Structure formats: C-alpha cells, structure tokens
Structure 1
Amino acid sequence: MSKLEITKETKNTTDTEKKQFSSKDFHQTFARPSFVKTSHVIHKNVENAGEHNQFSEERKHPVFFVDLPSKNVSMTIGGLLPGQKTHKHRHTYETILYVLEGKGSTLVEDEIVEWEAGDAVYIPSWAWHQHQNLSDSESAKYIACENAPQLQNLGVALREEEGRDF
C-alpha cells in the first residue's frame, strides 16, 4: 500500500473505524492534530471550591485540586500549617512546587532544600521526599504541578507512602 493510499484510507474512516496500528506500522503514522472541545477551560476561585477531604486527610495537610480536563498535567494548591510536616512518600511522576507563602523545607532523598515564597522546587520521579513548614506561627502555601495524569493514563503511575505501603 502506498503512502497516498494510506492517507486516503485514513481520511475516509470515521472516528469509530480508525485503523489500529501495531509496531510494524510505525512508518505509517502521520501528524493529524485536531482540536477537541473540552468541558471547561477555567476553574474559578479554586480554594473556595473546597478542600479535597480524602486526599487532605491522607496527606495530613490541606490540598485543593485544580479541576481542569488536562490528560497530562495536574495542579494542586497545598498548604502546611505552622510546624506541619507531610508523610515521607514517593511517586513515579515528577513534581514542581511553586511556593506562594511561607518558609519551609523539602527533604529529597538525602538532601534538605529550604524554600520561601517565590521559590520553585523540583522533586524527581521516584525520589523519597517530605515537605515541612519551618515556621511555628505562619502557614505555608504552594502550587504543585505534576505529570501524574499522563502516567495514570498510560497505566504506570505509582505512589508509595512510608509506613503505609511497606
């Protein structure tokens, strides 16, 4: 089958009839981007929409999910009360924290990184880590961006909490 025939064949199929490719067909894959309208493109007033109770209780600190339909990236707003520390945990997805308020530290494997408002912190995939608010009187708040949905959709997202999972 020529390239022209493959293109015609693909163009003539409906969404339910699209050709299923296997590894022998990798050379037949052509870019055909398309816009897919999402349910919504804005989540207004995220923190007033409410704390995600189950996740917050599990994590032992308040967490607010940004509810947008991304299949690749997630965003949450996390908070640490004065002196609070998260459980030590790790996951197969990367995390970037952007600190909005407060001062704290993050243990990444055997390195302690101190942070304050305006700083960004990178947590590599599968690194043991733990966040702590270093103030006894002020709360800390950060935005966490992760590629968890992408790995969940591929079936390879794993998460492990020290003391709970082993």
Structure 2
Amino acid sequence: MEKQTAAFTSKDFHRTYARPAYVKPGKLIHKNVEQAGAHDSFSTERKHPVFFVDLPTKNVSMTIGGLLPGQLTNRHRHTYETVLYVLEGKGYTEVEDEKIEWQAGDAVYIPSWAWHRHQNLSDSEPARYIACENAPQLQNLGVALREEEGRDL
C-alpha cells in the first residue's frame, strides 16, 4: 500500500484513502412528521403544505408535500434532483413541456434545473407525496440554487 499523501491533485483521482468511521448522529428518528407542523415560510412560498423530515442527513432530504383539491403549484426549478413518491391522490407534474400523470403508488423523477410544477386533478380529495432530493449535498458544496418562475435568482 502506498503512503498517504498530504493533498490530492487531479492526477490522483483514482486513489482513495478513506477510512470510514461511524459517528453517532444527534437523532435517528423524527416521529410523527406531519404532526410537527408544516414549514410555514416554505409552504407559503410554494403555495401548498410542506412538512420537512428533520434528520441529520448531509446528502439527501425528504419532505412530505400536500396538494389541496384542485391546487396547482408555482412553476419552479432547482439544481438538485427530486424523486416524488405519491402516497395518495391523482394529478400530474409538468416537467418542462411534458405532462406526467401520476396516482398513488407512482414515482416521478424531476431532473436537475428542469422547470416543473404539480397539479392535483381532484376537486374534492387532497394529494400527498414524499419528495426525496439531493439538496443538502449540493448546499454543502455551495451549488444549490432554486428559482421560482418570474423571480430573479
């Protein structure tokens, strides 16, 4: 085994000297996520309820999103990827110029920097989904951006 060097350069991309170690986080569970309440400022900005899963992950985030009957979200985009898993309801997600219809049990992928928005197709029943994103990873690297249509970055 080679001796570990003090700093890596571009010619060393294939080498790694990582030595993983378990570091116990402050918490491993967030009980009753939705009972903790919606994230008010983010929910107001997005115009639909959003519940953050408060766990100490540095690479992925998870939120529970809700769409009221007939609700259409603002069009927006971000540098992080999103995977939605639909818990209940029926609707669609518009990704750029493509309309992706979904219902409970479906998963939807939203690519990085794609304009998108969500619509609940029911006039009487709410829709709910879990959104998993790599936002914390990009935030920690300083490259996470989010833009609402009609607003400057």
Which among 137, 140, 148 is matched to residue 153 of structure 1?
140
**8 Å contact kept, 1:102–1:138:** yes
Which among 30, 35, 40 is matched to residue 48 of structure 1?
35
**8 Å contact kept, 1:3–1:28:** no
Secondary structure of 1:3's match? coil
Which among 15, 18, 23 is matched to residue 9 of structure 2?
23
Q: TM-score, normalised by structure 2?
A: 0.93
- The 2-side partners of 1:102 and 1:49 are apart by 22
- The 1-side partners of 2:77 and 2:131 are apart by 14
Q: CA RMSD in A?
A: 1.8
1:87 aligns with 2:86: no
Residue equivalent to 2:46: 59
Which among 81, 91, 102 is matched to residue 104 of structure 1?
91
1:31 is displaced (CA, Å) by 2.5
**8 Å contact kept, 1:105–1:113:** yes
Residue equivalent to 1:3: 2
**Shift in alpha-carbon separation, 1:81–1:28, aligned structure 2, 3 A:** closer
Gaps of 5+ in 1: 8-18
1:28 is displaced (CA, Å) by 6.2
1:38 aligns with 2:25: yes
Residue equivalent to 1:122: 109
**8 Å contact kept, 1:52–1:65:** yes
Structure number with the higher helix fraction is 1
Gaps of 5+ in 2: none
1:134 aligns with 2:133: no
Determine which structure has more spread, i.e. the larger CA radius of gyration.
Answer: 1
1:94-150 CA-partner distances (Å, limit 9, x unpaired): 000000011111000010011111110000011100000011110000000000000
1:24 is displaced (CA, Å) by 6.1
- The 1-side partners of 2:104 and 2:152 are apart by 32
Residue equivalent to 1:68: 55
**Shift in alpha-carbon separation, 1:52–1:32, aligned structure 2, 3 A:** same
**8 Å contact kept, 1:71–1:149:** yes
Q: TM-score, normalised by structure 1?
A: 0.86
1:163 is displaced (CA, Å) by 1.4
Percent identity between matched residues is 75
